[in-house]
Amino acid sequence: MEIKKIGVLIAVFVLVAGLAYVKMGTKTMEKEDKKILTVEYNGKEKSFTLEDLMNLEKTSIKTEDPYLGKEILYEGVSLETFEKELSINCESVKVIGEDGYNKTINSKDFNLGIIVAYKADGEPIKKGDGGPIKLCFSEEAKKIYDEKNWVWWITKLEFK
């Protein structure tokens, strides 16, 4: 009888330890999965979580979204802020979406109100609306960059 109790205790211990290991592994993977943007610049690479982006200097633009057909207040990080924060010296940036769609923006235009947006009208941008992050243009920037330059589901910025 005593041996059965020891066997049951060992089985319970193994089960609990196994569950703890799986849970710990899942937490590590979740943390890795939170990285939503990779930035390549000056021969370096840096990854950002949504929280990292929200901790950078915020820029807001109110603009007509050409795909959603309404005026939206977008909040995010300007290309100019990335350039300043990471001490980037570049001529342009290639903005790449998870579907491979990409557009190149000239660095001389970074100050026109071009942002990597993570909020729309105060709410996180939904996947169906191009989120969690997408490239948006102010009315001034739209004089140079038409609606084909809006990049949804951004995963990478390559500064060149």
Alpha-carbon distances of 52 from 15, 48, 143, rounded to whole Å: 36, 6, 30
pLDDT at 25: 52
Q: Are residues 55 and 22 in the same domain?
A: no
Average pLDDT rounded to a whole number, residues 38-58: 98
Measured at the CA of 141, the angle between CA 140 and CA 147, to 5 degrees, comes to 120
Same domain, 116 and 80: yes
**Does residue 57 share a domain with residue 39?**
yes
**What does pTM read for this prediction?**
0.80
Is residue 85 located within the same domain as residue 22? no
Q: Is the alpha carbon torsion for 55, 58, 62, 66 positive or negative?
A: negative
Check pLDDT > 70 for residue 48: yes
- Confidence band (pLDDT; 50, 70, 90) for 15? low
